[in-house]
Amino acid sequence: MCGNVLLGRFDAEKPFFTTGGSFWTNSTTDLLASTTEADRLTLTRNRCNGEGYESVALVPLRSGKEIIGLLQLNDKRPNRFTSDMIAKVERVAAGIAVVLAERQAKEALRVGEEKYRTLFEESLDGIVLIGADRSILEANPAACSVLGMTEGEIRAAGRDGLLAPGHRRAPYLAELERTGKTAGEVTLVRKDGTRLLAEFTAVALQRTAGPPEFFVAFRDITERTRAEESLRESEERFRRVITQTKAGYFLIDREGRFVHVNDAWLGIHGYDSAEEVVGRHFSLTQVEEDLSASQRIVETMLAGGSVPDGEFSHRCRDGSVGYHTFTLSPVVAEGAIVALEGFLIDTTERRQAQEALRESQRDLLEAQELAHIGNYVYDPVTRQLTWSEGIYRIWGLDPKHAALKDSVRELMHPEDYERLESAVLTALKHGTSYELEFCICRPDGAARTLITTGKPQLDATGKAVLLKGTHQDITEYRRIEEDYRTLFREMLDGFALHEIICDKQGNPVDYRFLAVNPAFERMTGLMGEGIVGRTVMEVLPGTERHWIETYGKVALTGAPAFFENYHAQLEKHFQVTAFRPAPNQFACIFADVTERTRAEEALRESGAKISGILDNIRVGVSLISPKMEILELNPLMRERFPGVDLGRLPICYRTFNDPPREAVCDYCPTIKTLQDGLVHEATTQTPVAGAVRNYRVVSSPICDASGEVTAAIEMVEDVTESLALEAQLLQSQKMESVGRLAGGVAHDFNNMLGVILGHAEMALEHTGPAEPLYADLTEIRKAAERSADLTRQLLAFARKQTVAPRVLDLNEAVAGMLKMLERLIGEDIELDWQPGTDLWSVRVDPSQVGQVLTNLCVNARDAIAGVGRVAIATRNSTLDTAYCAARVGVVPGEYVELTVSDNGRGMEKETIGRLFEPFFTTKGVGEGTGLGLATVYGIVKQNKGFIEVESELGEGSTFTIYLPRHTAMDEPVEMESAPVPAARGQETILLVEDEPAILKLTTRMLESRGYTVVAASTPGEAIRLAREHPGEIHLLMTDVVMPEMNGRDLAKNLLALYPQMRRLFMSGYSTEVIAHQGVLEEGTHFIQKPFSSQDVSIQVRLALDREE
């Protein structure tokens, strides 16, 4: 077993196992296994177990209530401790704790004594230890030095001997007795009798027995107090200077923030109080252009450099800019620059005065230069003549080289020089001023007219000591005067100068003619020699009173007048400008505006007519200013935009759009017109009340007399409906063009397919099913039949499909197809048939009804994913003019509607726009030909109907077909007849076909059925063979379109030879020759290319057996 005494402070609040506060265990292994990590950290350290100790005891060492250590017992063997043993150990530990506590106290006392002695001896402050009886027990060296005494002298003087007489010590003693400490200032007396001011701190030292002693530390603050007083006085003086000076003072710290500013600084910068500035950066008052220079100056000063004084600008609180001179100095503390201070003097007014003076001097020089004036000084004593630059410029002389007196004599006319010399001598002799006009010829040869003035400067005796004056170049003035005289004579406007005549009360009653120009004479018929000097009432006694009153106001007040008026006696309208050239005079400029006035009257009448037109036309008219403000609207525009308040000058692009635009429209023709003065046109899309209207805007300029554009007139036509019709028309024309192309392609294609299909059938007739070629021939025939079906769809779209329409009940036709359509669309799709009641009859080929329904139902089926519904409905419908006006090619009337709708995926607008184009499909490759809806479109158009589509994505589609009502009362509804079975014959057939392969093939087909065939490749050959044929020709089977003549004309020629001859026409598509718009004429037999051998047999037999 081993033991340790662990000294140190321990937390007594941590739990131990015994009431005495001890912890012990006989098995650390079991303890660790039965506690948590937190418990182990709290109760014991697991390193005991780690070192192999099983029995561990920790007994506290207490000194009073404080645990100062632990007595630790360890044994590697388990079960070494009992409760009694631990109690004995605790008693032993109490004794150990007492010994340890005493030893620690002695050590602490020794260390404390050493520290105290060191502090006492080495302290720079004086320290004395005072007993309860006020005697001084100890004094340190610093106290001896301050007081100029030895320690013995200090002890002999005692506390009261060191204090200056009259010192109030009672407050300090009371506080010391009450609190055990005090501090303050006292006045002490040195050995030499001088006094010193000391600050002290006193602390009572409690003894274990007896009264307390006092520890007093003090410091001589006499010099510091004097320095502080001097500093306060200096600061007060400085504060007064800073406060009272007119110079602005500022102090900024190293970060450039204002620490202090005086009132003068605030006034210079326009601030009310220092709180607005202190703490803010000096850039607050800097002008942007000077900020970087100011920053460099501050940085230089803070770095210990120097900068010269200068003048800078500053920014005032109100944003204005002022100017100041400044000085800047560093503020140094303990050898370091801690701040910058400076003074500035406001030079704004001085600078403004200097600038004003410079501006005044510039203005004077400019005025002299503009007025062609220069000044001179002549000294009669020295006879020195000094000219300004202006005079040199007037005379055309170089100031560096001109000899003035000689130059003046050389450039002046001799007589003028003599007059000038005489005027100068007279002015100097008599002290009088002069003004003289003369001419010079400058060195560059230019003649100039000058006017000179001179005024002598006299001394106290009245003697002229200087002569000052000016030279002014009045060449232009004299020229203007001459031009004025010329203008007066030649001007087109009348001019007259008058003198007003007033009565005794000063009221104008008449005026006198002083001068008139020739234009005035021409305008009025009044000649100058007959009216000058006379009054207007003498010349024109019928002059209205208002003329005199108006002119009197001008002459008496000087207020000019501009007016137009009619003079009844002269029977003319005048535009008059009147002004006062001199008191009691007035001058008038007259313009005869009689013709203009009459024209304006006519214009007003014309304007009234135009206004009536604008008010009633169905085109909007607006007047737009260059700022895009709406100045005027005609009634139609007000009707379209009722909320416009013209009084507020609304902006057009905001007013005419809903919601308003924030900028001019990109396409705006008006802004272009206002910019270039040309006519511009554009069609715009304008949002109005949730919809979009299309307007055709033609903008024309309105210019003033100088040609400047002052406004623009907009002619605004609502073309929304017409554009929609135009789009429909373009679509219709496009479909028509595609149809013609498709029809032409189908015609040629049918000829080739006819050859392929015919030869395949004939080959099959001679080939058994077991033969290898039979399957190939069958596939060729199938491919040809599918191709023929495509061409039939193309022909249906192109309306070139030859049909035989009949009067039908559309309900019966649809009902007969329902089972076929149900099989077509499948079991997952419901077919809903909704027949209309009392349905009107239509005239249409029944096969075409089947084609339409088949294609529409297939289209609906493909649009439905999974389970869905297809509805077919019919009803009667009457369309009025308003409905048809918005649809191209639709005429008002009675129609039968056939509607096919589905609840499939629907279509977007782009798809609807191309829906009926041939070969357009939204299906995948190989899933559709793109001809189904094109076929529907062609069939509907061929039957003079139209089709409409309504669809939205996710909402399904509805196709509505409108077929014209058949109104013939005598035609019963026809029922479809059964097909005629193929038959053979023995008749003679004249076959005419310009395509050799078709001719040859058809001949073989007919001969194989027992007919005698006369084959011809041209109409001419057919006529010749018919004439040469010895027997009867029972049937003419001819192509419709051939080079020499068409099939119908050929038939007419041959009927003269064979009146009983039947006729069968064949073609790749219908023509107007035998079918009007694809509808066969009554009694006409027709077979569509390509055809099979069976088709030929049936149609030939039908034609031969038809009763005439």
Please say whether the beta carbons of 423 and 455 come within 8 A: no
Least confident of 790-794, 961-965, 1035-1039: 790-794
Cα(148)–Cα(189) distance, integer angstroms: 10
Portion of the chain with pLDDT greater than 70, in percent: 83
Domain boundaries, the chain: 2-106, 123-222, 245-352, 373-478, 491-597, 617-715, 804-975, 988-1105
Read off the pLDDT of residues 93-120 as tens digits, 9 standing for 90 and up.
888 887 887 777 777 777 767 777 777 7
Cα(546)–Cα(503) distance, integer angstroms: 16
Please say whether the beta carbons of 754 and 1090 come within 8 A: yes
- Please state, as a whole number, how many other Cβ atoms lie within 10 Å of the Cβ of residue 133: 9
- Please state, as a whole number, how many other Cβ atoms lie within 10 Å of the Cβ of residue 812: 14
Backbone angles phi, psi at 457, to 5 degrees: -105, 120
Least confident of 3-7, 554-558, 1026-1030: 3-7
Higher pLDDT, 377 or 364: 377
Model confidence band, residue 870 (pLDDT cutoffs 50, 70, 90): very high
Position 118 scores a pLDDT of: 77
Roughly how many angstroms between the first and final C-alpha of the chain, as a whole number? 149
- The one-letter code for the residue type at 721 is E
Position 799 scores a pLDDT of: 47
Cα(958)–Cα(780) distance, integer angstroms: 39
Model confidence band, residue 810 (pLDDT cutoffs 50, 70, 90): very high
Position 10 scores a pLDDT of: 44
CA 805 to mean position of chain CA atoms: 64
0.75 exceeded by the pTM?
A: no
| pLDDT reading at 339 higher than 70 | yes
Write out 245-266 in H/E/C secondary structure.
CCCEEEEEECCCEEEEECHHHH
Instruction: Assess if CATH 3.40.50.300 describes domain 123-222.
Output: no
Instruction: Assess if CATH 3.40.50.720 describes domain 245-352.
Output: no
Residue 314, beta-bridge partner list = 322
Read off the pLDDT of residues 683-714 as tens digits, 9 standing for 90 and up.
887 776 666 778 888 888 988 878 888 888 88
| pLDDT reading at 921 higher than 70 | yes
Read off the pLDDT of residues 199-209 as tens digits, 9 standing for 90 and up.
888 888 766 66
CATH class entry, domain 804-975: alpha beta
Cα(491)–Cα(18) distance, integer angstroms: 137
Please say whether the beta carbons of 806 and 974 come within 8 A: yes
Position 1014 scores a pLDDT of: 92
Q: 540: buried, middle or exposed (CB in 10 Å: 19+, 13-18, 0-12)?
A: middle
Cα(781)–Cα(758) distance, integer angstroms: 8
Locate tokens 């009272």: which residue? 244
Position 1025 scores a pLDDT of: 92
> What average pLDDT does the structure give for the chain?
81
Cα 539–544–548 angle (5° rounding)?
Answer: 80
Q: How far is CA 482 from CA 487, 488, 857, 869, in A?
A: 8, 10, 101, 103
H helical segments located in 20-82: 28-33, 37-43, 47-50
Residue 961, beta-bridge partner list = 898, 947
| pLDDT reading at 649 higher than 90 | no
Token code pair at residue 809: 């009940």
Residue 931, beta-bridge partner list = none
CATH value of 2-106 in 3.60.140.10, 1.10.287.70, 3.30.450.40, 3.40.630.10: 3.30.450.40
Position 85 scores a pLDDT of: 86
Model confidence band, residue 1073 (pLDDT cutoffs 50, 70, 90): very low
Read off the pLDDT of residues 713-745 as tens digits, 9 standing for 90 and up.
888 888 776 766 666 666 556 656 655 555 556
| CATH code for residues 617-715 | 3.30.450.20
Cα(318)–Cα(461) distance, integer angstroms: 58
Question: Same CATH topology for 373-478 and 491-597?
Answer: yes
Position 425 scores a pLDDT of: 92
Position 727 scores a pLDDT of: 63
- Torsion (CA) 425, 426, 428, 431 in degrees, nearest 10: -170
Q: What is the mean pLDDT of residues 1066-1084?
A: 56
Least confident of 70-79, 213-222, 1070-1079: 1070-1079
Cα(973)–Cα(1011) distance, integer angstroms: 37
Instruction: Assess if CATH 3.30.450.20 describes domain 491-597.
Output: yes
H helical segments located in 890-1046: 909-913, 932-942, 996-1008, 1019-1028
Among candidates 327, 326, 319, 321, which has minimal Cα distance to 352?
A: 321
Position 1033 scores a pLDDT of: 92
Q: Which long-range contacts (CB under 8 A, 24 or more apart) does 148-155 make?
A: 148/190, 148/191, 148/192, 149/190, 149/191, 153/191, 154/128
Position 735 scores a pLDDT of: 57
Structural fold of domain 988-1105 = Rossmann fold (3.40.50)
Backbone angles phi, psi at 729, to 5 degrees: -65, -45
Rg (CA), the chain: 65
Cis peptide before 508 (omega within 30 of 0): no
> Which superfamily does CATH assign the domain made up of 373-478 to?
PAS domain (3.30.450.20)
Position 99 scores a pLDDT of: 80
Position 883 scores a pLDDT of: 80
Among candidates 828, 772, 796, 816, which has minimal Cα distance to 940?
A: 796
Q: What is the mean pLDDT of residues 973-996?
A: 70
